Structure formats: structure tokens, C-alpha cells
Structure 1
């Protein structure tokens, strides 16, 4: 998938996961920003057990960065294969296939074209999203492969 223009705002993988977990509440951007800055956040009951205090610190110490990440998107500074798998689960609400075979690490997920573009947008340098062989899922989403870009 062709690289889209990457955002200038960069977040750590963990901060991105916490932000995506909060976006799932459906709060408007300004409400999300104010809740995070105030530390007025729910207890995370997911398998990740996010402690949002670090995100609150980021939102207050680097306010412009946080506001830009919420309103205009972000790129993850450095991805790991397991982190990408987790991001797909948290942000796109789907369990992807994780392949940990040495020299062939990848994540396979069924995504809509918009989801694939969104994923490509947030990935750190060195990762790519490409169509993958396979059947569409029951929702008509195509298979995509996320893997390190090899020269």
C-alpha cells in the first residue's frame, strides 16, 4: 500500500494504544482532550490494564503534541510486531493473526480499505501494509499483511 503523507506528531506505541483505548468511548475530541488532561478517566478493564496517568502527564507536559495527535492523527515512533497486533485489536477491534517466524514476522488482518489506510498512516518507519492472499471475511474485508519493509 502506497505510503500516505505521515503526520508530524509522533507518539510512543504505548501512548498510542492508550489513546486508541479511550477513543473507543466515542467522546468528541475536545471532551477526550479535557478528560485526559484532567485525569478524569475510567479504570481500564481490558487485558492491557492501561494506567492512564502517563497519558495524562503527556497531555499536560506536551499539550500541543497531544492535541495534534487527537485531532490530526499521529505516527508511532517505533513499532514492534506484537505492538502492531495490539494496536489492531485496540483501535480496529479485531483479533489479527500474529506470525512470529524468524525473518518472516508479520500480522495478517482482514481490513476495510479505510482501516488499511489508517493502519499504514500510524505505522513507524520500516513497516508496510500490503494486500495478502486469502478470502474476504464475512464482512467483505480483504486480507492485509503488515510486515517489515525489506530492501
Structure 2
């Protein structure tokens, strides 16, 4: 399990750097799901399920994407905290207790990993279905050209 602990630190550091970038650049506004996004998220889900013909209006990210990205940020926090809780259960006893004990902390850590895997598979599948040329943006973070507007 040494590789697990070795990879945990880049995961945590990368996540903190990313959150810092979002905070300093103001881009968190385009990613954070807010209560007003609930209706548009439902409309987008209906569109993806082919129950709605017209593509709902969107900005850089649609409301369903915002909900997924907000969920992923929360998952990252849960994975990190539950990881610390099971890595140092005695030294961080308060954190282990917060998760309901060592076994539940392990359970939540395991669940978050599989939710990350599911998100990644779904994310890549939707990119191929909606805009295959944007696969480059997943890898590099840069999108060539204009974002599809659908407005």
C-alpha cells in the first residue's frame, strides 16, 4: 500500500492548487452549482435522456455539469478526510469519530474512489457523445476554438 500513500499527497496537493486557482481566478463562479441551477439541470438531464428536443441554453458549463463538478469537489474532500481518518486513526481520532468510526471511514473512502471512477467513465463517454473534439480539453485544459453555444 506504499503506492497508495505516495499518490495520496499529489492528489491532495493538486486538489488544493486547483481550488486555489479557482478562488484566485474567479472561475469558481462558472463551476459551482447553486440552487438556481436546479431547474436547468433537470432540463439538461431531460435533453440527455432524449425526453426534450431542444438543447437548453448554457454558458461555459451547463447546470448538470456544474452539479457534477460541485459533487466531485465534495467527493475530493470526503476522500481526503476519510483517507486521513484511516491513515492516522489514533492521532486523528476526532476525524475518525466524525466518520462514525474506523470501519465507516474505510467504507466512505472506498465508496468515494468508485464514485470517482464512475464520474470519469461517464465524463469521457459524454464528451465523445456531445463533442469528441473536446477530448483535448480534458487532457490539456485548453479548448481550441469557441465553446459550442447551443443557444
TM-score class, shorter: under 0.3
Higher strand share: 1
TM-score w.r.t. length of structure 2: 0.25
Which one has the largest radius of gyration? 2
TM-score w.r.t. length of structure 1: 0.25
Higher helix share: 2
